[in-house]
Chain A
């Protein structure tokens, strides 16, 4: 029982991390329908830029986080305006190829700039285990969970409480009608993409401070994030969170009671099962959009 509680806790913590890294993708892939294979690279850039600003500019963790958000957000905006915009409305293929190209470019240019070594990102608080009955957790993980939940709530608020948010929702429901209603849809698309990139960069820096930052981490993050988004349902915020938690807990239990060597298989098996049984995902409100 004690073991089960610990597995469950581990799974929930990792689940929040998964949800966090997938949040950005649920905007970009779920709403904008860009199958963004460079998603993991924005996550990676978050960690690397975070390492740079905390190590070389001497910023503390939280100011670093703000700077990372600004830097990667504007970068994401530019990527959308100059690249993604030109293939919008042409189906998945050009977007896939474009983002694969972008991801190859970003990984290797980062490799060129900072080398392949794993980097240590300064932590926000000192480390130390906390024992809650039979369950062990660390302060940094608790903090990361809190920040993660705050980001999730914040992103949700942006989409549901602000003018930009309503413009976004209008644009993704019917771009034509939205632009007729005076919404500058190009700006909305770019803002959404930038927001998605910012979220993944923030999670990248947050998690890099717990693990480490490295140029080559992106690929796995992209794949896992796709799994989470599909599990939760395309474009659904609560879905992404539920998908992340589901994946985290399922992996922890599989790793705990079966074998840790094959733990990555769980996510993909779940995706296949869910797409076959319930293609709209666990929490999506509407089915396939025309």
Chain B
């Protein structure tokens, strides 16, 4: 627990130095995207890793956040500092509503019902021309505001710091421990007085809030929001990050986000082969690193008889 915190702090300090260290705008852009994805992956990880239910509808919150921020900016001229928190709040409200319906279900049912919500929102965004401008999307978000990359990096870092602070507080709070208890054994947890629905709901809404913040940031940074923010392709990327890094750890999603972002860019060199190879890498990770990279690190440490693993939970999940 302290190790994880220290690494996160270390990474945070390192990342805070990035704006000074990097002048290359392309690398800066990649850093911004990687941190943006780290926030997203972390928010999904709260549901997947700590509640133990596999949500495929996380883009619902990313998308509502992005649309909220874009609409507030384009129609009402809200600046970024006001629109992004509002995006988080709206997404959290969606999380509350969707969670109230979906968290009653488990296993494959939960997977498909969350996916259905994201798809419903996508189709609404695509057809509700009066509000969302449909497939034409909302262009020119945040025009005249922040445009400097270093400033964007500072903002996304601030959001990431908030994300990890909140996640850390949640994970190591009673609610977080209760969530892990539910994940490991629902019935035992219930028998000691944990309310599975309540704890899952907390994680779900927090995840939605953070994804909404990320979505709001996305709207301002890319300056364009269309229905594709709800698309499954986005979802697949986030899942790959979480599972590649190692779910159920705070560090894992960060590692996954950085690796996948860099991998996608490095693979550009291979042109047409790029995505085929990416698919193969994803399969290889599942087969050879079943608990993600953090699980691999944790196992290596145990073999060497080092301090206890990063998160005891990952080891138990192998059964």
A and B touch in the complex (CB under 8 A): yes
Is A33 in contact with B279, judged by CB distance below 8 angstroms?
no
Selected from A83, A223, A234, A275, the residue in CB contact (under 8 A) with B119 is A223
Selected from A87, A101, A268, A269, the residue in CB contact (under 8 A) with B279 is A101
Cα(A101)–Cα(B280), bound, Å: 6
Cα(A33)–Cα(B239), bound, Å: 19
Q: What's the nearest-Cβ distance from chain A to residue B64, in Å?
A: 16
Selected from B115, B117, B283, the residue in CB contact (under 8 A) with A83 is B283
Is A105 in contact with B276, judged by CB distance below 8 angstroms?
yes
Is A100 in contact with B282, judged by CB distance below 8 angstroms?
yes
Question: Closest residue to A280 on the B side, CB-wise?
Answer: B109
With an 8 Å Cβ cutoff, the count of chain A residues facing the other chain is: 44
B193 interfacial by beta-carbon distance below 8 Å: no
Instruction: Evaluate whether A265 and B240 lie within 8 angstroms (CB atoms) in the complex, with A104-B282, A272-B101 already known.
Output: no
Contacts of B112 in A (CB 8 A): 35, 226-227, 230, 271, 275
B48 interfacial by beta-carbon distance below 8 Å: yes
Cα(A29)–Cα(B182), bound, Å: 25
A126 interfacial by beta-carbon distance below 8 Å: no
Cα(A106)–Cα(B279), bound, Å: 8
With an 8 Å Cβ cutoff, the count of chain B residues facing the other chain is: 42
B162 interfacial by beta-carbon distance below 8 Å: no
* 0/1 interface trace, chain B 273-302, chain A, CB 8 Å (1 if under): 111101111110111001000000000000
Q: What's the nearest-Cβ distance from chain B to residue A76, in Å?
A: 16
Contacts of B279 in A (CB 8 A): 101-106, 108
Selected from A35, A86, A107, A227, the residue in CB contact (under 8 A) with B287 is A86
Contacts of A98 in B (CB 8 A): 282-283, 286-287
Contacts of A33 in B (CB 8 A): 107-108
B218 interfacial by beta-carbon distance below 8 Å: no
Is A97 in contact with B243, judged by CB distance below 8 angstroms?
yes
Is A108 in contact with B276, judged by CB distance below 8 angstroms?
yes
Q: What's the nearest-Cβ distance from chain B to residue A204, in Å?
A: 19
Q: Which of A92-121 contact B (CB under 8 A)?
A: 92-94, 96-98, 100-109, 111-112
Q: Nearest 9 A-B pairs (CB), nearest first? A: A105-B279, A101-B282, A104-B279, A101-B283, A268-B116, A108-B275, A108-B276, A265-B123, A98-B286
- Chain A residues at the B interface, C-beta cutoff of 8 Å: 29, 33, 35, 83, 86-87, 90, 92-94, 96-98, 100-109, 111-112, 219, 223, 226-227, 230, 234, 259, 261-262, 264-265, 268-269, 271-272, 275-276, 279, 288
